[in-house]
């Protein structure tokens, strides 16, 4: 039985991940930690978790816990992950894996030294709709892939417009702006489908002036087999400009799908037009957590590891490198 402890039981754990730890077979959530003891107690009560802590060390050193989920903002991922690894406990880390690639490398170095595995919450690697897209490509539904085109446009929220900024746009905590929080899912999924990015060119700007982090990114990537990718991300535009689209073009057809809105998957090729459901599970991390539990139980492998998660952080770091040199 894998007995989990969560460090940082915030919003992401309420439905996306937290309940899945006790719903997956051979898995149970036994403790949560939050610096605010009252909030930790409230979470434990609402989710029927036996124990709660306000001190991460007590959770990490709890002898009943044999795996740790680090769900704090990225700025503390490396600290808590490394402490858990040194305690002999496998870690599942929220994405992005850490605040930068260097911290990811350190986590993986310690993981290798202590022989303790690391997993990262890039859960689209285990969701049925995203696996369907991968299978369609592998089965030649669009022929040889030539181009991937991404668009993610999201307007600023009310808090940002009023100057009430979240940690997600504080680079010291998040690594960058919304690009690090959201595009990381897209870039990691493309890594899963096409392999590592081989080359990167980018333009990074702050257009709206609401915070110091980047809010516009345009980037060109090259994958193996001469697959080109062009992406654009804007977080300072109007509501009417909202976009969430990934299009994959081949010499025999194309696939269109969304990353966050779970729109139906559209395939067009010589055989006509097909539509596939891209279902959003009740707990979107369930499938990946199930893989991780099986991996830790010696019954399988998990698709998202510290090695793959670090590759995504390397790409993001390279995209914004010149911007943060200023």
pLDDT in tens, the chain (326 residues): 999 999 999 999 999 999 999 999 999 999 999 999 999 999 999 999 999 999 999 999 999 999 999 999 999 999 999 999 999 999 999 999 999 999 999 999 999 999 999 999 999 999 999 999 999 999 999 999 999 999 999 999 999 999 999 999 999 999 999 999 999 999 999 999 999 999 999 999 999 999 999 999 999 999 999 999 999 999 999 999 999 999 999 999 999 999 999 999 999 999 999 999 999 999 999 999 999 999 999 999 999 999 999 999 999 999 999 999 87
Q: Which residue do the tokens 């402490």 mark?
A: 83
User: What are the φ and ψ backbone dihedral angles of 256, each rounded to 5 degrees?
Assistant: -125, 135
User: What is the C-alpha to C-alpha distance for residues 2 and 22, in angstroms, rounded to an integer?
Assistant: 10
CATH number of the 2-122+284-302 domain: 3.40.50.720
Structure token digits, residue 289: 């957590």
Strand partners, 7: 33, 70
Q: What strand order describes the sheet that includes 272-276?
A: 199-205, 216-223, 227-234, 145-153, 243-250, 253-257, 265-269, 272-276
Strands (E) across 169-242 are located at 199-205, 216-223, 227-234
Give DSSP secondary structure letters for 132-148.
HHHHHHHTTTT-SEEEE
- Domain 128-280 bears CATH identifier 3.90.180.10: no
Its pTM surpasses 0.95: yes
118 neighbors 90 (Cβ within 8 angstroms): yes
183 neighbors 313 (Cβ within 8 angstroms): no
For the chain, what are the domain ranges? Answer: 2-122+284-302, 128-280
User: What is the C-alpha to C-alpha distance for residues 189 and 181, in angstroms, rounded to an integer?
Assistant: 14
């Amino acid at each position: 039985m894998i007995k989990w402890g969560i460090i940082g039981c915030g919003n992401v754990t309420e439905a996306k991940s937290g309940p899945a730890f006790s719903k997956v077979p051979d898995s149970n959530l036994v403790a949560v930690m939050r610096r605010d003891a009252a909030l930790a107690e409230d979470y434990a009560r609402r989710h029927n978790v036996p124990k709660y802590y306000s001190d991460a060390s007590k959770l990490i050193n709890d002898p009943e816990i044999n795996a740790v989920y680090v769900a704090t903002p990225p700025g503390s991922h490396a600290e808590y992950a490394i402490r858990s690894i040194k305690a002999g406990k496998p870690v599942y880390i929220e994405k992005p894996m850490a605040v930068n690639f260097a911290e990811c490398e350190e986590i993986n170095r310690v993981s290798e030294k202590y022989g303790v595995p690391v997993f990262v919450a890039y859960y689209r690697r285990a969701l049925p709709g995203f696996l369907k897209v991968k299978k369609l490509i592998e089965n030649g539904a669009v022929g040889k892939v030539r181009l991937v085109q991404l668009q993610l446009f999201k307007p600023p929220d009310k808090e940002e417009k009023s100057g009430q900024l979240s940690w997600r746009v504080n680079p010291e905590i998040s690594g960058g702006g919304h690009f690090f929080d959201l595009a990381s899912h897209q870039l990691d999924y493309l890594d899963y489908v096409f392999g590592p990015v081989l080359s990167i060119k980018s333009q990074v700007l702050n257009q709206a002036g609401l915070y110091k982090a980047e809010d516009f990114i345009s980037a060109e990537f090259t994958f193996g087999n001469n697959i080109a990718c062009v992406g654009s991300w804007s977080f300072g535009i109007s509501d009417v400009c909202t976009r969430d689209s990934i299009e994959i073009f081949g010499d025999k057809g194309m696939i269109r799908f969304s990353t966050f809105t779970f729109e139906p998957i559209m395939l067009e090729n010589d055989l006509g037009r097909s539509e596939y459901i891209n279902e959003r599970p009740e707990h979107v991390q369930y499938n990946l957590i199930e893989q991780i539990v099986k991996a830790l139980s010696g019954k399988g492998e998990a698709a998202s590891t510290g090695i793959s998660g670090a590759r995504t952080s390397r790409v993001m770091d390279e995209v914004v490198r010149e911007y943060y040199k200023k």
